Amino acid sequence: MPDWHPDQATESSGADWPCLGSAVWALRTTTSFEDAIRAAIDLGGDTDTVAAVTGGLAGAYYGLDAIRARWTQPLHVPLPGFDGRVGRLVDLLHLARRLGG
Per-residue confidence (pLDDT) for residue 41, from 0 to 100: 96
Instruction: Note whether 58 and 27 are within 8 A (CB).
Output: yes
Ranges of the chain whose pLDDT falls below 50 = none
Report pTM.
0.71
Per-residue confidence (pLDDT) for residue 15, from 0 to 100: 66
Per-residue confidence (pLDDT) for residue 50, from 0 to 100: 94
Strands annotated E in the chain: 77-78, 86-87
> Each residue of 39-63: pLDDT tens digit?
999 999 889 999 999 999 999 999 9
Per-residue confidence (pLDDT) for residue 3, from 0 to 100: 74
Instruction: Note whether 74 and 85 are within 8 A (CB).
Output: no
Per-residue confidence (pLDDT) for residue 76, from 0 to 100: 81
* Half-sphere CA count of 25, side-chain side, radius 13 A: 22
Closest CA to 17 of 49, 62, 60, 43: 49
Per-residue confidence (pLDDT) for residue 34, from 0 to 100: 96
Q: Output the known binding site.
A: 46, 48-49
Task: List the beta bridge partners of residue 87.
Answer: 77
Q: Output the known binding site for Mg(2+).
A: 46, 48-49
Phi/psi for 12 (5° steps) reads: -65, 155
Domain ranges of the chain: 1-67, 69-101
